[in-house]
Amino acid sequence: MEYKIMSSQRYGFSTVFGVFLSLLIGVNACAQEPTTQAADGETVSYKLLRIKNSQFNFFALKSKDALKSYSKILYYPMSSKGLVLKRSGDNEIDRSWKKATPEDWLNFTSAFDEMVPKFFPENKNFSLTDKAGDGVLSVQVRLAEYTPRVNRKGELGQTTVGHQEVRDYGSVLIIIMLVDSTTNETVGIASDGITLGAGSLLAKNSSVSSQMIGWQRAYEIWLNKLREQLDISHAVTN
């Protein structure tokens, strides 16, 4: 199964910054207030420097060496609060996902949480900790947008005739906030989008278990990117 990385043009600065602001003012966000509302090509308005050639579609830090002083991460469970459900172009698919409850989304987010320890073992930088403190970076991950292409429960309605196929399960955007665990200062932000299962014909009524495999594969890609980006940024000397 192939996974197509969505271009940064699809999720431009306005989308990323809009979600970023929602994180700042949300109940679960632990970051200082933004100071401006404008941005140029190289910096985001929250006085963060956009890092070119990063692992993510979009990645910005307070400074190039901002992660140098961190050795552990305090991970917060992935959140779907404020998730934007985009229209698929198929009324039946849209109806099925509109019925999703917070408990339904918990199945998707908890799958990500369960995978995190594998990528941040005790014998490496950025090992997991359950306490804030010096050298501890808080990591907050959020599902920001989802555009479905298959029915949520893998069921076909009475109005569906025949066996319908789609090119992917859907498109997902996540936002990752990096925050100092003691000062609550925002150190960095990342965003990334993936089209799930792109490249192969899939059934519109793909089973729940098949869809979850698609999501888990996307999570693996994102966690690899986070692991690699943290290591790269930690090694920066200037």
Question: Which letter does DSSP use for residue 184 in this model?
Answer: -
pLDDT score of 184? 93
> How many alpha carbons lie under 13 Å from residue 113 in its C-beta half-sphere?
16
Rg (CA), the chain: 18
pLDDT of 11: 45
pTM for this one? 0.79
Give residue-wise pLDDT tens across range 95-107: 999 999 999 999 9
Residues above pLDDT 90, as percent of the chain = 58
Q: How confident is the model at residue 33 (pLDDT cuts 50, 70, 90)?
A: very low
Mean pLDDT of 172-176: 96
In order of 69, 192, 201, 222, the CA distances from 236 in angstroms are 11, 22, 42, 21
Residue 160 confidence (pLDDT) above 90: no
- Cα–Cα separations (whole angstroms), residue 129 to 72, 73, 110, 136, 181: 6, 6, 18, 8, 11
State residue 97 phi and psi, 5-degree precision: -80, -25
Write down the residue that tokens 């109005």 correspond to.
159
pLDDT band at 222 (very low <50, low <70, confident <90, very high): very high
What span, in angstroms and rounded, lies between the C-alpha atoms of 46 and 70?
21
Model confidence pLDDT, tens digit, residues 55-88: 999 999 999 999 999 999 999 999 999 999 999 9
Q: Is the pLDDT of residue 28 over 50?
A: no
Q: Does residue 80 contact residue 103 with C-beta atoms inside 8 Å?
A: no
